[in-house]
Each structure stands twice: as C-alpha cells, then as structure tokens.
Amino acid sequence: MADTTEKTLVLVGHGMVGQRFLEALADRGVTARTRVVVLCEEPRPAYDRVHLTSYFSEGVSPRELSVVEDGFMARHGIELHVGDPAVRVDRDRRTVTARSGLTVGYDTLVLATGSYPFVPPVPGKDAAGCFVYRTIEDLLAIEAYAAGVGSGAVVGGGLLGLEAAGALKGLGLDTHVVEFAPRLMPVQVDTGGGDALRRRVEALGVRVHTGVGTQQITVDGGTGRVTGMALSDGSHLPVGMVVFSAGVRPRDELARGCGLLVGERGGIVVDEQCRTADPSVFAIGECALAADGRVYGLVAPGYEMAETAARTVAGEAGAFTGADLSTKLKLLGVDVASFGDAHGTAEGCLDVCYSDARSGIYRKLVVGADGTLLGGVLVGDVESYGLLRPLTGSVPPVAPEHLVLPAGAGAPVALGPSALPDEAVVCSCNNVTKGAIRAAVGGAGAGGAGGGAGEHSCTSVAEVKKCTKAGTSCGSCVKVLGQLVDAELEAAGVEVDKGLCPHFAQTRAELYEIVLALRIPSYRQLLDGHGREGARGGEGCEVCKPAVASILASLAPVVGASVHVLEGEQAALQDTNDHFLANMQKNGSYSVVPRIPGGEITPEKLIVIGEVARDFGLYTKITGGQRIDLFGARVEQLPLIWARLVDAGFESGHAYGKALRTVKSCVGQTWCRYGVQDSVRMAIDLELRYRGLRSPHKLKSAVSGCARECAEAQSKDFGVIATANGWNLYVGGNGGATPRHADLLAKDLSDAELVRLVDRFLMFYIRTADRLERTSVWLERIPGGLEHVRDVVVHDSLGICEELEALMAAHVAGYRDEWAGTLDDPERLSRFVSFVNAPGTPDPTVRFVPERGQIKPEPILLSLTERVTV
C-alpha cells in the first residue's frame, strides 16, 4: 500500500507518451515529492516507435532507439518495472496489481497503455507466418521468419503498412501491399497523392493491390505455415508470410475492468485535463478518447496529452482541446507529408496542384476563399513542409501557385523562416512556436507557446532542442530550426559558427581559398596550420577529411598536391568508394563504370564490355546517362577487370567520386533531321575536358542538338542546347528527389565562348560551394543567385575570370586516368583485397542469386547481436 507520508503516482505503460509524461513531471518537480511507480509491459524501457523501421533500414539497434536518457529513472527516483504489465485496477482500494503479483497503492493513476494492432477476422490469421508490426519483438520475429521464405504481403497500406512493406523489402522478400481503400495512405493523402505514392512505391519493386480485401490466408495442412492469400477480387498471392498492419485499437481493457467509461468504439473517455470520470485516474495517448471525441494515433497529440496531464497533476492550469495531425515521413524511401485540411473539407476551399508523374512529384495546397492556407499534401518532394505547415491558418506572403512549383520556377523571392509569424508552430510534435525558439535564443519572441516562456541564451540547435524539445521527436523541423537559430543569433550580433566541422572554423569555400593562396599541398599541413586550437596534430573527422581531399584534388596541379587519390596521404582521406575507385553496392560487391564520352562507343569496345561482364559474371545495365554499368565485382577482381578495360581504351567514369559523371547527348545534326548543331562532338569535347574534375558534389551535363531537348539538358548541373546561332548554356539544374529546372546563363555562344563560360562556371562553383552542395542548391543559396553568378562568370565583375580559366587549364593539362595509374603501381594494387592477412581469400559474405538471366545480391540477414556488434 502507499506510504502515508507521501503521495504515490502509478503510471501504467511506458511508451513514448508515458516517458514524455515522466519528463514533464520531473520538469515541474513532482518526482521530488511524489513516489512514482511505472509498470511496463515490454521487456525494455520506452523506445522510439516512430523510427522503428530504422532497425531494418539503417541497422539501428534497440538500444539506440531508446528515448530514455541514461540515468533518468535513478536521478528522479522513479521505480520502473519492465516486463511486468498491470493486469487489474481496484478503484475502491486504489491499487494496481501487476502480472508478477506486485500490488501498488496509488493516489494518482495514469493509464498510458497505448493501442494494439487490429487483425481482421480472416480465416488463417493465426497460422505460422502471420505477424503484426508494432514492437521490437515483432520485428525480431519477422526477421527470423523471413530468412526461410522468399515473399511476403502486408495487409494495410497506411503509415505502418508501408513501413512494414519497407521492412520486408529490406529483408530481400518479394513484397505485396494489400489495401482495402482505393489508394495508399487514405487517411493522409488524397487521390492525386495516392497515385503518385503508388507509382513511387511500385517503382521500388513493391506490388500494390488497392480496392481489394483479404478473404483468407491459405495454409499448408501439414506444416501449418502460410502459403498465400486469397483476395476479394478472386486473385491469389503466393506468399510465405503475412504482416497485418490494418490499423490499431485503443488498449482500454484495464479501464473496462474497473468500470471506467469507454467510448462506443473504444478508448477511455477523458476531459480536457485528460482526467477520466474518476478524478484520481488519467488516460493519455492512444488509449484515450479525448474530449473532442477522437482517439489520436500520432505521437504529437500524445505528447500534448502527457504535458496536459502533468500540468494538472502539478496543480497548474492546462487543457487538451485537439492537436495538429500533420505528418512527414519517409516510407519505402519515398517522402510523404500532409498537414492541415489535406482533403479540402472546408466549405468554399480550392485546390492548387502540381503533378509530375515522370518524377513522382505531387504537391497540393488547400486554400480558403480568402487566400488562407488550410492544408496540403506533398509526395516525392517534401522540402517545403517545414515552412508550409507553420503557415497553415495564415495568408502566405506569395501566391499559392508559387509554393507548389518546383525550385527555380516558384516564388520570385525564396520563402524563409522570416516569413513565419511568431505564433507559427514550428515543431508540431512538441507544440513549439517560432516565438518560443526565438525566446530560447534570447530574441524578442519571448512568450510564444510551447517550450516555455522567458528569455534564454541558447547559441546552438542542440541547446535549443534541449531547452524547448523542438526537433527531438520526428526531426522534420530540424532544418527550419537551424535556420531560425542562425537568423536570431545574427540579428543579435552574435557570430554564428559556420565552420566546416569541429576541426576547422572555416567554411569549405574559405579552406579552398587558403589552400589556393598558400599553395598548401596536404591535409596534415592544412590542419596543423589552420585547424582549430586543440584539433591540430589530431586525425580530423569523416566530414573534413573527404572535403579537404576534394579541394586538394581540384587544386592538385596548382598547389603540388598528389594528383592520384590513392597516393600517400590522399588515400587515407577518401571515402569507401574513392578508396577502391568503385561504388560499393548493398552486399559488399562493387560496380565498374567505364567512361563512354557522349554515349558514343564503337562495336569493338561494346564487345570488350560484354566479354568482361561474361567472364567475371557481372550484372550489366545501360543507364540513363548513356553508360554501361557492371555490377557484382569483388574487390580483388577490380584490378583484373580494369586491366582489360584499360587495354581496350576505356578509362574511369568516376561514378564513385564527387566529380563529372557524364555528358549525355542526342545524335544531333549528324543523324537527326531536326538537329542544328553537332551535339555528339560537343558532348565528347566537354566530357573529355572536365573528366576527373573533383568538386563539392557530383556533376552531370548534357548537350541537345536542338530545342526538342532529347538529352534533357535543362535538368543538369550544366546543360547545353543548340540554336541556329550557336549554343545556349543552362546552369543549376537537378533531377532526383528535388528536381530543379536549370537557368539560362548565356545564349547563342560559339564553341570557344561556350567552353570558356563552362570553365568559369565550374571553377567558381568549386571555389565557393559548401561540402556536398549540388549546383542547384548552391545557385539558390549564394547571395544574388543567378544574377550574381552571371555577373561573375560572364561579365567578370570580380576580376577573377582569368584565374578561373587558368585553374581549369591546369586541371585539363594535369589529368591522368586514375585506374591506369593504379594498374601501374604495385603499392596501390596491394589494397584491393578482402582480407589483409589473407590476400587471396574472397569475402564469403558477398553472394548472389540468379534473376532474369543475370545476378542480384543475395539478401543479407543480421541477427540482433550482429547488428549491435558490426
């Protein structure tokens, strides 16, 4: 029974919401004067269920998923009982009994029991091979069973369903998703968003079945194991396992057992203070039916309920009246977000849409008759979510059509955090406003909702996160958070540390200037002479070493640095791919990508590639960049393969490096009746000129022989389109997840003028860009944007064009093929082994299985222990 000299609070359930409740109690000093007992059903403390799939996708261990700070329970005197759930509540005696027989008396009881997965009542649902997707234990069971089957299906195409599908796909299974609704994620996205999502998901090899239900799980009569699924449209899926992810239901059985009021469809009825009909009992999170009649299944509303209940327990005022249901997720590698009135239910509202089926991009904003942004759906590109969601409920400073267009074709001025009002909620998970963030930094926004009021003196994102809890849950607001912190510090006259990393206080561009001006030839000399105090004489880090290696490679002919990436100190600075001059693939094998300038290749060279692929058993694929990729090479095979390719006249295509990849071309006027210039010749000239050019990020280019643009030059870092009078040069384009249309830099150029401007543009980009910054991002970030770049590159406003041209000329004169140089050097060749102590032994974990007449990586399954220790 409870101690008569102190109050006792019992928390039943220790998930993310339960832990947030404990933190809120501790913040208010309640744990210092109250005995707090926690009964937890799972065998481990609270962990991040939002990022559960990262166990499969990123190898994150259960320990790393924990949301409980080390020492938290002991520091606050909280008694935590894991693996011992509550089984009975006696409200008359005010006691809770656990499965172990432990009985604890309470003055206050808080139920945070969460929810359980709903499994449709279909025949065969209990067969061996049927699972739910909810806990770490579920994941471990799925992983173990998947090792013995080749295919699986997920019942449910919502948030968790797509996460489960990603897990099965990651385990190497042929994967199906079955959704009864006519589209995926029917609660979060509309028809257009569902269509875009489906295309992206199916492009990843997952087969989607919408508008159908599961009729039966077919089972082998002898083994009792799953053999397939019968669907309502009469079809049958031959799968070896089934994961049910068809929604959740509130866990309210304890409340029912002790006579508390529950909703007709489940959920413990609570008021705005999260208190049940019994004043001493609270319910928070997914088990609670809130005062607005809704059971919330997201973590953000659960956190708000936890804060509300903690305030009430502490004697403070507070109310939970509803919550933001916005979500931003990456499902199967596809970015999806929805916010506000995503389905446009408000009277008189209008939709503003942008859809690019080819790129899998869909954006829709719901706008009120008065121009107020009411909500939206984003699929494939959610970069603007961090600003759009806080603008919900206000009239944006630019027309809504500008907000949905791709980067480079949208608003005349880029929207930044300054466009947000102080009352805008930046972190919806923790209800932290822009004003609260400004107050945390010490700005004029004190008093904003969330995160506490009053001025603080935070000087970094990490400090603001600790102070306000912003950015500590799903993480979707961290980018905007960083921009707000920097802007507030700069406005206050505080110098913002924009250094490259803990070892260098300078930016990448500043380090480039130091290396160039002082002719510094090595990383060691740069670190010892210009690193931060305390970093000199050290070893650097994974940020600065490859960044400086790229700078040294770009300036090698000028400063006297090692030209070859595997020579001396340079070799130790490289990432894995550069370290072996090849791209590492998912199973530890490597790809071989020879350069094919302009996509032009002779029959003899085609035959050599075919013979190499055949003799080494490689997977071959023709890429969109007009190259032939060869996959599946073991590390010890790379020199043997390249020896034959180099003998045939091939050289490195630099697919592994931050360098020029390809210059794509159409056939131009030589063959095409519409062509007006020789695009193949120009593409070859450009590719041979800029081959091996190391830069902050990869570079792609294309040359089109006419305005029909068959080479897609306007989606490239620098693209060239033929005109009747010469060439038009476009810069800053980008494909991928965040496509950007290139901007016209100059038009009707002669061959010499074109090459001169490309020389200047590339060297100016290399000189001033941040690490890992594509030209598309650089062009939008650099002060003055395109006009400034045009002034510098075309009109020589800074007087540096002669130097830029000289730097490029030095690169062209100093180029040597990296693979040819490697084959001529026994010391460099010695690194191409799987095991240093057994050079002739191939890696036994690199295995393949047949598919469509070629090979593919054999799925790799790691046990829990291996995941932690690898």
In 249-321, which ranges are continuous DSSP H helix? 253-257, 299-313
pLDDT of 733 strictly over 90: yes
Span 795-813, average pLDDT: 94
Span 76-96, average pLDDT: 96
pLDDT of 454 strictly over 60: no
Q: For 756-793, write each residue's pLDDT tens digit.
A: 999 999 999 999 999 889 999 899 888 888 889 999 99
What is the radius of gyration, based on Cα positions, of the chain? 30
pLDDT of 485 strictly over 80: yes
Q: What is the mean pLDDT of the chain?
A: 86
The pLDDT, as a whole number, for residue 793 is: 96
Residue 718, CB-side half-sphere exposure with 13 Å CA sphere: 25
pLDDT of 33 strictly over 90: yes
The pLDDT, as a whole number, for residue 274 is: 96
pLDDT of 869 strictly over 60: no
Strands 334-340 and 373-379: antiparallel
The pLDDT, as a whole number, for residue 1 is: 43
Task: Determine the Cα–Cα distance for residues 216 and 211; give it in Å rounded to an integer.
Answer: 16
Catalogue all structural domains in the chain, each as residue range(s) with its CATH number. Answer: 7-116+250-313 (3.50.50.60), 130-243 (3.50.50.60), 333-415 (3.30.390.30), 508-572 (no CATH)
Task: Determine the Cα–Cα distance for residues 619 and 630; give it in Å rounded to an integer.
Answer: 6
User: What angle separates helix 785-793 from helix 751-768, to the nearest 10 degrees?
Assistant: 120
* pLDDT band at residue 27 under the 50/70/90 scheme: very high
Task: Determine the Cα–Cα distance for residues 279 and 313; give it in Å rounded to an integer.
Answer: 11
pLDDT of 603 strictly over 60: yes
Task: Determine the Cα–Cα distance for residues 524 and 518; give it in Å rounded to an integer.
Answer: 14
868 versus 198: which is more confidently predicted? Answer: 198
Q: For 645-665, write each residue's pLDDT tens digit.
A: 999 999 999 998 899 999 999
Q: For 828-853, write each residue's pLDDT tens digit.
A: 888 888 776 667 778 777 888 888 88
Answer whether 218's CB lies under 8 Å from 226's CB.
Answer: yes
The pLDDT, as a whole number, for residue 453 is: 38
* pLDDT band at residue 463 under the 50/70/90 scheme: confident
Share of the chain above pLDDT 70, in %: 91
- Any residues with CB less than 8 A from the CB of 842 and at least 6 apart, and which? 634, 636, 834
Which residues on adjacent β-strands are paired with residue 682? Answer: none
Q: Where are the beta strands (DSSP E) in 586-741?
A: 590-592, 619-622, 628-633, 660-665, 699-704, 718-723, 726-731
Answer whether 270's CB lies under 8 Å from 319's CB.
Answer: no
Task: Determine the Cα–Cα distance for residues 80 and 3; give it in Å rounded to an integer.
Answer: 18
Report DSSP state, residue 129.
Answer: T
Q: For 487-538, write each residue's pLDDT tens digit.
A: 888 777 777 777 888 889 898 999 999 999 999 999 989 999 999 888 888 8
Q: For 219-229, write each residue's pLDDT tens digit.
A: 999 999 999 99
The pLDDT, as a whole number, for residue 401 is: 79
In 9-82, which ranges are continuous DSSP H helix? 16-27, 30-33, 54-57, 72-75
Task: Determine the Cα–Cα distance for residues 156 and 177; give it in Å rounded to an integer.
Answer: 7
Q: What is the pTM of this model?
A: 0.57
